[in-house]
Amino acid sequence: MTSRARLADDAARLIALDWGTSALRAYLLGDDGVVLDERSEPWGIMQLPEGEFVAAFREVTGRWLAAAPELRALASGMVGSAQGWVEAPYCAAPAGVRELARSLVSVADEPLSIVPGVSQSGERPDVMRGEETQIVGVVERHPELAKDSLLVLPGTHSKWVHVREGRAERLTTFLTGELFAVLSTSSILGRFARDAANPPDAAAATDAFARGVLAARASAAGVTPLLFSVRALVLAGKLAAESSLEYLSGLLVGDELRCGLAAGEVPRALVGDAVLCARYTAAFGLFGIHGVPMVEHTAPAGLWAIAVHANLIRPTPRRVVA
């Protein structure tokens, strides 16, 4: 066991951190970016008190760095925002692995660099942080998506990103996840579901979600005239109170798809959390779009590729022959 553990330590090449608003996910990567170990903590930048970044970083990486002190760490996500630890100024789109690797920001006194986000200027300014690294991971693992493809990254802030020649070229952000969160917890639309004794069963939840998607799909003017129907349908006895938030989720996801698909381009991949991507897959099906592949866990692969381009990887040590 000791020799195996030593082998694992020797093989460690990089610490990769996916450090977002709500969570910190840390990976110990070996040759070719293979995941040797991982750890997840609820230490997103909104959860950490100011000044706690150092402590969180040392706690989550301490054991790995103790075993291999020359390891470097690379982080992506909101940790590089103005509200994060050290601000990493946006890299202008189009941006891929080379542009990102050239623009890393080092954190003083720690063996850590941070990947910048990507900004789009012009008529429709937009930004992303964290997703640019996931996209690098997608392109690394699925080179067929590099040339010219539309990727959808569902989330608190869903991103629809056009990739061309391996670089994120254009993006649009939809506030879908955050709208759902604030409306369900803080508005009158969440009242019935909050007061319901039980959650809906799976079939009722699926039906209510689909009904919301179809209603949004049919509303060419947009979703806002439909929002109050989350409440009014329950009052009219036409929607079960406990299913009303599934219907709201369907309205919001359906509206995102209606807008995102308006230009006629079909997404080539759904990138992100499997449960959330499954919800989007169901919604795409209701728009007649089937078979969009899901790609998960792309942040470590993206961080590995950026680190390789930035020469952050610890050299392969000579193996100790026992």
Binding site for a copy of itself (CB under 8 A): 83, 90, 119, 121, 124-127, 157, 172-176, 178-179, 182-183, 185-189, 191, 221-225, 227-229, 231-233, 235-236, 238, 252, 255-256, 258-259, 262
Side by side, the strands of the sheet bearing 24-29 are: 35-41, 24-29, 14-19, 73-76, 112-114, 105-107
For a copy of itself, give the closer residue by CB, 174 or 304. 174
For a copy of itself, give the closer residue by CB, 5 or 232. 232
For a copy of itself, give the closer residue by CB, 33 or 212. 212
Tell me how far, at minimum, the Cβ of 219 lies from a copy of itself, in Å. Answer: 8
Q: Distance between CA atoms of 204 and 241, rounded to whole angstroms?
A: 11
Tell me how far, at minimum, the Cβ of 191 lies from a copy of itself, in Å. Answer: 8
> 172 in helix, strand or coil?
strand
Q: Distance between CA atoms of 95 and 131, rounded to whole angstroms?
A: 12
Tell me how far, at minimum, the Cβ of 216 lies from a copy of itself, in Å. Answer: 10
For a copy of itself, give the closer residue by CB, 262 or 322. 262
Tell me how far, at minimum, the Cβ of 303 lies from a copy of itself, in Å. Answer: 23
For a copy of itself, give the closer residue by CB, 27 or 180. 180
> Phi, psi (5° rounding) for residue 79?
-60, -20
Question: Cis link prior to 94 (omega < 30° from 0)?
Answer: yes
Closest CA relative to residue 36, chosen from 45, 44, 27: 27
Tell me how far, at minimum, the Cβ of 224 lies from a copy of itself, in Å. Answer: 5
Q: Distance between CA atoms of 23 and 40, rounded to whole angstroms?
A: 7
